[in-house]
Amino acid sequence: MTTAAPEGATPAPGAAHPSTPPAPRPSDGPARAPAWAAALAGLAAGVVTVGVGSLVAIVAGAPTDPLVAVGAAFVDATPAWLKEVAASTFGTADKAVLMIGEAVVLAALAALAGVLAARRWAWGAAVVVVLGLVAMAAALGRPDASWTAMIPSFAGTVAGLWTLKALVDRLPRDVTRPRRQRRADDPTGRGEDTGPTDVPEGQGRSADDGPATEVTRGTDRRRFLQAAGVATALGLVAVAMGRLAGAAGRAVTAVRDTIRLPAPRTAAPAVPAGVDVGADGVGPWATPPDDFYRIDTALVVPQVDPTTWTLRVHGLVEQEVELTWDELLASDLVEAWVTLCCVSNPVGGDLVGNQRWLGLPVREVLARARPLGDADMVLSRSADGWTASTPLAALTDDRDALLAVGMDGAPLPVAHGFPVRLVVPGLYGYVSATKWVTELEVTRFADATAYWTDRGWSPHGPVKTQSRIDVPGDGAQLDAGEVVVAGTAWAQHRGITRVQVQVDRGPWQDATLADSGGIDSWRQWRWTWTATEPGRHELRVRAFDPDGPQTGAAAGVLPDGATGYDYVQVQVG
């Protein structure tokens, strides 16, 4: 016979109190998706966003896809000092570095969106929407953009949101390991198994619950990875299709390859045999087109069909002029050797090149338009909206300022301005070398500004006399004896008259000049140094134009070009 314990008595150890309900199992909270899976969901959604945007950009005829639009907007907003850091650090690879950096940032933000969406959908969706709005604003901010420019970004954003939601709903969930709760009446201290927290309360567990849970987790993970893989693959396919469709739809190179340029009315003067000094390490006097430097703001090279190209001349003129491609080729074209250099070229830098150009003198086109007397500047505009401010005098005097259609005897390379670009001797490219030119607006410096002058650069950019030591290289280890010191100097539209070399800040000594190819081209030089004293030495160079020696005062490229002497330090013995 069982006797009930008296009221208030303590039940015997191990006995259940008849009036006490079972204690609820402690919970670790709801199961949460692992961070790696959430980040992967965001990355896959990001790939889909970019892919759909790229593909829709081609279908909708948008001028550029969202990724490029954002990159271009970043370039436009870049302060001058940061642009110079990029140019000096990465040189002509600056655009590739920018696009890689943009992709890395986008990947990080996409992963963040996935992690946030796994916690709370609205947070992750907000990141995607903000990125989409940024891309739409960047697209609408491009020159001559219409409302249709934002369609690719909008479509990509919608696709990205849908993909992110679909993947987040399929995320595998971490299952909390069984946890033991220590009871006060458990003398062993091992506690009792409270079971996994994702087992619904009130349901029992069998001996097979643990293994079954692990199988479920593995199945969920595989399904998620399959879905994420499919989404990523589709996004990459869309990116590839967009690129291929763009190449097929804008195959300007194929058109270029069919063009045969007419013979010039005036051929370039014959190049003297002695323009090259013949020193190992000094490049050719004529820069191969494939090696010609390229510095511009175009992340994607504009594809301009010459059959639809026109040049509009307007502004402070008596008569507006419009010139077609066929009319340009039917004009009296001339050839000229001209050295071009970038204002971002540091002392001793290589952002300079010399080539033979074919084109129509700009002064002849301006003569048809008849500029008004108070005009002093021509604002040239590229097909992608970039502008340059060129002094009107430099386009109307006797120099060979050209609307160039040819380079090295062939049509311009697409990356160097095909079908038409400006070439102006004696001016840095940022105020003269407009590629893919479509417009010349005759105006005044007081009334208009150009792309780089809006960013702190000088409105006038005459090339400064410069010289460079090409050999020996900085830090070279030399044997004692005769050493060839050689390089290049330039002072476009003035010409190089003399070059001198200095050893260890001693007296300046004259170098031997190569033959001149004209005042608009650079000039090579050579000097033989009898190096007899072992140790470290410094070599410096300076060049002369008809007005005297170049300045030795060191200055950076901002706001209108670098100055100072190029030098190298070498070790003898």
The model's pLDDT over 237-290, given as tens digits with 9 standing for 90+, comes to 887 776 665 554 457 888 999 999 999 999 999 999 999 999 999 999 999 999
Distance CA 294, CA 425 (A): 17
Category of 311 on φ-ψ map: left (φ > 0), alpha (ψ -120 to 50) or beta: beta
Q: Which of 196-205, 444-453, 495-504, 508-517 has the lowest mean pLDDT?
A: 196-205
pLDDT at 67: 78
**CATH 3.90.420.10 spans which residues of the chain?**
273-455
pLDDT at 202: 39
pLDDT, tens digit (0-9, with 9 covering 90-100), for 410-437: 999 999 999 999 999 999 999 999 999 9
pLDDT at 498: 98
* CA angle, 226 then 229 then 231, to 5°: 110
**How is residue 19 written in tokens?**
């009036």
Relative to beta strand 477-478, strand 566-572 is parallel
- The residue among 133, 112, 110, 122 whose CA lies nearest residue 51 is 110
Q: Across residues 337-359, what is the average pLDDT?
A: 97
Distance CA 498, CA 273 (A): 19
Identify which has the larger pLDDT, 546 or 148: 546
Distance CA 57, CA 51 (A): 10
Q: How many CA atoms lie within 13 A of 306 on its CB side?
A: 25
Other beta carbons less than 10 A from residue 207's beta carbon: 6
CATH fold for the domain made of 273-455 = Sulfite Oxidase; Chain A, domain 2 (3.90.420)
Helix (H, G, I), strand (E, B) or coil at 256: helix
Distance CA 214, CA 30 (A): 17
- The residue among 354, 399, 290, 409 whose CA lies nearest residue 524 is 354
Q: Is the peptide bond before 559 cis (omega within 30 degrees of 0)?
A: yes
pLDDT at 205: 42
pLDDT, tens digit (0-9, with 9 covering 90-100), for 542-567: 999 999 999 999 999 999 999 999 99
Q: Which of 71-80, 104-113, 258-267, 360-369 has the lowest mean pLDDT?
A: 71-80
Which long-range CB contacts under 8 A does 273-276 form with residues at least 24 apart? 273/515, 274/514, 274/515, 275/514, 275/515, 275/516, 275/517, 275/523, 275/524, 276/514, 276/524
CA distances from 163 to 52, 223, 334, 446 (A): 11, 15, 58, 52
Other beta carbons less than 10 A from residue 53's beta carbon: 30
Quickly tell me which residue has 């830090």 as its tokens.
475
Three state DSSP letters for 120-133: CHHHHHHHHHHHHH
Is 440 in contact with 434 (CB distance < 8 Å)? Answer: no
pLDDT at 521: 98
Q: How many CA atoms lie within 13 A of 543 on its CB side?
A: 29
> How much is the pTM?
0.71
Other beta carbons less than 10 A from residue 141's beta carbon: 14
Right CATH number for 466-572 from 3.30.2020.10, 3.40.50.2300, 2.60.40.650, 3.60.20.10? 2.60.40.650
Q: Is the peptide bond before 472 cis (omega within 30 degrees of 0)?
A: yes
The confidence band for 88, taking pLDDT boundaries of 50, 70 and 90, is: low
Identity of the amino acid at 79: P
- How far is CA 26 from its chain centroid? 55
Distance CA 202, CA 27 (A): 13
Is 359 in contact with 277 (CB distance < 8 Å)? Answer: no
Is 428 in contact with 461 (CB distance < 8 Å)? Answer: yes
- The residue among 303, 280, 251, 527 whose CA lies nearest residue 417 is 303
Is 571 in contact with 536 (CB distance < 8 Å)? Answer: yes
Q: Is the pLDDT of residue 136 over 70?
A: yes
pLDDT at 143: 67
pLDDT at 28: 45
Q: Is the pLDDT of residue 144 over 90?
A: no
Distance CA 428, CA 345 (A): 10
- The residue among 474, 354, 366 whose CA lies nearest residue 423 is 354
pLDDT at 63: 63
Q: Which of 40-54, 205-219, 391-405, 501-515 has the lowest mean pLDDT?
A: 205-219
Sequence-ordered list of residues with C-beta below 8 angstroms from that of 13, at least 6 positions apart, any chain = 185
- The residue among 176, 177, 173, 166 whose CA lies nearest residue 219 is 173
**CATH 2.60.40.650 spans which residues of the chain?**
466-572
pLDDT at 243: 65
Identity of the amino acid at 240: A
pLDDT at 145: 67
- The residue among 565, 541, 568 whose CA lies nearest residue 477 is 568
Identify which has the larger pLDDT, 206 or 369: 369
**What percentage of residues in the chain have a pLDDT greater than 70?**
82
CA distances from 426 to 26, 72, 292, 381, 450 (A): 82, 29, 18, 20, 18
The confidence band for 138, taking pLDDT boundaries of 50, 70 and 90, is: confident
* CA angle, 348 then 270 then 415, to 5°: 50
Query: 343: buried, middle or exposed (CB in 10 Å: 19+, 13-18, 0-12)?
Result: buried
**How is residue 423 written in tokens?**
């070439």
- The residue among 490, 460, 456 whose CA lies nearest residue 340 is 490
